[in-house]
Amino acid sequence: MASVVERTNAKPKPVTPDGYERFLAYAALLLLAAILLALGRGFDEWGKIPWTVWAHLSTVLVAVALTPVMLLRRRGDVRHRLLGRIWVIALVATAALSFAVRGINHGGLSYIHLLSAFTLVQVPLLWWSARNHRVAAHRIGVRGVVTGGLLVAGFFTFPFGRLLGHWLFG
């Protein structure tokens, strides 16, 4: 008995954000607002900040600002892929530059650098999964990187006498 295979030219249904992805997007907006507020409040001390910290903050701002856009807008189109490349470059640069920012432990690495190492490993895997149309793996990986490598790491830059916390709360 022969089977009939029906062929359609229908495009796959776009992936829409779920509740957790909306939560991540709004958390990224909150983090972005906190960073911008801290930067504004610390204006008088900007001249004392090393260039490596400014480079790190610049790449963080790009990644954090793009995160809600990437999570809430249409996915898989040309714009998503372009913004995704920028986001990947910003995150890799942020994680790499974090190893030059070592103030909390008297010049040594802190626990937050474990998240930087995680990001340096995970982000290229995200890019690879997207390039190979492994949508489920890409989505799970993005959630992990945004949760740990961006938001947890980002929110832990505010307490414990760190620069942004000093500017925001000091």
pLDDT tens across 49-68, in order?
999 999 999 999 999 999 99
Three-state SS across 33-52? HHHHHHHHHCHHHHHHCCHH
pLDDT tens across 93-108, in order?
999 999 988 765 456 7
The model's pTM is 0.87
Q: What angle do CA 7, 13, 17 make, to 5 degrees?
A: 165
Has residue 2 got a pLDDT over 80?
no
Encoding tokens for residue 52? 């490596």
Rounded Cα distance, 37 and 25, in Å: 18
In a 13 Å sphere around the CA of 118, the CA atoms on its Cβ side amount to: 16
Comparison of pLDDT for 23 and 110, the residue scoring more: 23
- Cα 80 to Cα 28, 31, 84: the distances in Å are 18, 22, 6
For the chain, the domains span 19-41+49-169
Residue 112, pLDDT score: 82
In the 8-state DSSP scheme, what is residue 158? S
